[in-house]
Every structure is written in C-alpha cells, then in structure tokens.
Structure 1
Amino acid sequence: MKNNLQIATLGGGCFWCTEAVFQEVKGVEKVVSGYAGGHAPGKPTYREICSGLTGHAEVIQITFNADLISYEDILVIFMTTHDPTTLNLQGADKGTQYRSVIYYHNDHQKLISKEVLKQIQNYYDDKIVTEISPLPVFYEAEKEHQNYYRENSQQGYCSYVIAPKLSKLRKLHADKLK
C-alpha cells in the first residue's frame, strides 16, 4: 500500500492530551507537540507559552496516512475527545494557549474543517468555538514534551486528565484504533 502522508495541526487544550489520543489512532504515523498561532518573535519556550502572553496555542502536528484514515475522521476524533464549546478552557487548563483550534494546511482541509464543525455542532448543546485558521509557523516543543503520556503515565495530571480522554477515545472510536 502506498503511503499517502498528510499533516493535520490541531490544538485542543494541553498538547500532552491530544498527543496521547492521536498516538493510538490507526493510520497516524507521527505526532509532534508544539506551538502555533502566536505573535511573539522567535521560537517560543514552554514557559513563555504558559504565561499566555505570546498568543501561541499548544498544538500537535499529526502525520497520517490518508489511505488508512481520512482528515475528516481525524477531525471527528479531535472534536469528540476535547470540549470544543469552551473558549480558552479545557478542564482546569485556562488561557488562550489552551484554545480549541484547527490550523488548516490547504483549502481542501479548510472546507472539510468547516463541514465537520457544522455536522458535529448537532451533538453539542453549546455553540462550538473552535477556531479554523490557516497554519501559521509551527514550532516544535521541547524534547520533554514529546511522548509525554507514554513516558509519564503515572504522573497525577496523566492519571486524572489524560487517562479519561483515552477511555473516551476507546469507547467512541474503537474501530479507528491501532
């Protein structure tokens, strides 16, 4: 089977959570945690991002094989494993760095993003506030933020915040898992 590799860039709160979710999805080749969408010059650091002053969001870049999973399916998983109705808030994580955002890479992704959000809205009582924007510069996060859940699953945040998201993923999207 040929590799039809594509990239999706998504922010749904803490990147440790979204990274852990997509590392379990069939067709996903690689997930890289990082930052995008800010206004501060130069490559931001985690500490700067956490201040909320740079304007960057914590995001992940997903490299996926579109022959095995579609961009639409990636977005449906994304939209159902975080709360896309809370502005700059995911659980206890508050600030613009935790906003719900889809950064599209081309016009086709933009079109699919808008369509998926329109369809998903029917499943939520509150209005979806997920931002859809063209991909700005993506900055890879520091090494200690890559594969975070896999390397720190016993840590408190992982047990209380990430593990329930993974349970939701496994329940809602069992057919899409590795």
Structure 2
Amino acid sequence: MELTKVAFGGGCHWCTEAVFQSLKGVEKVEQGFVASIDENSSFSEAVIVHFQVEDITLKTLIEVHLLTHKSTSNHSMRKKYRSAIYSFSDSQNKEATALLDNFQEQFNKKIITQVYPFSAFKASEEAFQNYYLKNPAKPFCKQFINPKLEVIKKKFSNYASL
C-alpha cells in the first residue's frame, strides 16, 4: 500500500484535523502550522494528511476539504486561517490545481482556496493535538466541528469512520 501526504489549511486546525481524522484511508493527521515556499515562510493553521492512495483519492480529500470549511469567503483573519492546499510535489501541485478548477462549477461563488508548494511545518502543542478526539463535548467542538462531521456522514458516508 502506498502512503502519501498532502496538507490543508481550512480555518481552525482543530476543525480541519477532526475532519480528516474521520475518514477511512487517512492513516495520520499532523496538526500545526504550515508554511509555503511562495508565501515567504508565513505560517498558517493547517494539517498534514497521510493517506492510502488505494483507499482514498486526492480528489476526494480535496472535495471533503472544500465542503467542510468556508472555501469561498474571505475574512480579516484569512492569512492565519488560509484556505489552502499545500502540495509535496510538482505533480501533486498540478493535480490539485486542476481538481480545484473542476470543482469550481459546483459552487455559486469563486473558490478562494489556493494551491501552494509545501515548505515547512511546526506542530501544535501536545495539549492541542487530537483536540476533538479528546474534547468532543466541549462547546467549541459541538458548535464548529460537529457540523463538519455531519457533512462527512451525509456526503461521504462510504469514507466516514467516526
């Protein structure tokens, strides 16, 4: 089985981590801060997703990403909470860019998600790792993470593991 990785920035990394941890085929999710080569090593909240390409495709991961955060809206904290896909190779960068273009027709507004080449990663503090798995009853999790997991259960039920 081939294990590969891609990184996603989709608002709060606690939410993004929980979304990808809920998918079959995802072996590991590293939560923290990712920098891009094109962004002068500016870090934003993100996760690195390690997945089995035989079990879940990059296309599915990107679709999950787009449908579980505000991929079409800007806000004042967008630099810290960037909507992004961080690629680990030129071929992954090209594939992700093409997939974003293909998904655009499913949205009424322009997708603001950008594809960047991955540069660096800094893990979150241990206390914040696996945040949802440790704290599912916290108000933050109920208000912000549970609705995203409902999208997984409804739209991606064949991949849902939680």
Q: Which structure 2 residues correspond to residues 1-178 of structure 1 after superposition, within 5 A?
A: 3-37=1-35, 55-88=42-75, 94-178=77-161
Normalized against structure 2, the TM-score is what?
Answer: 0.91
Question: Which of structure 1's runs of 4+ aligned residues deviate more than 2 A?
Answer: none
Contact 1:100–1:131, Cα closer than 8 Å, also in 2: yes
Q: Structure 1: how far apart are the matches of 2:36 and 2:86?
A: 13
| CA 1:95–1:117: 2 relative to 1, 3 Å | closer
Q: C-alpha deviations, 1:26-60, integer Å up to 9, x for none?
A: 11001110101279xxxxxxxxxxxxxx9421000
Map of 1:43 onto structure 2? none
Change (3 A) 1:88 1:140: farther
Deviations 1:137-178 (A, max 9, x none): 111111112110011111111110111111111111101223
Offset at residue 88 of structure 1 (A)? 4.5
TM-score, structure 1 length as denominator? 0.83
1:72 and 1:95 map into 2 onto residues whose CA distance is 24
Distance 1:177 1:36, change over 3 A: same
Question: Number of aligned pairs?
Answer: 158
Change (3 A) 1:24 1:98: same
The verdict on how the C-alpha distance between 1:38 and 1:65 changes in structure 2, with shifts beyond 3 A counting, is closer
Tell me the equivalent position of 1:50: none
Q: CA RMSD in A?
A: 1.7
For the residue of structure 2 that corresponds to 1:97, the secondary structure is coil
Which letter maps to 1:10? F
Q: In structure 1, how many angstroms separate the alpha carbons of the residues matched to 2:137 and 2:101?
A: 37
Name the CA distance, whole Å, in 2 between partners of 1:144 and 1:131: 29
Deviates more, 1:69-78 or 1:10-19: 69-78
Match of 2:149, SS state, is: helix
- Structure 2: gaps spanning 5 or more residues: none
AA of the residue aligned to 1:67: E
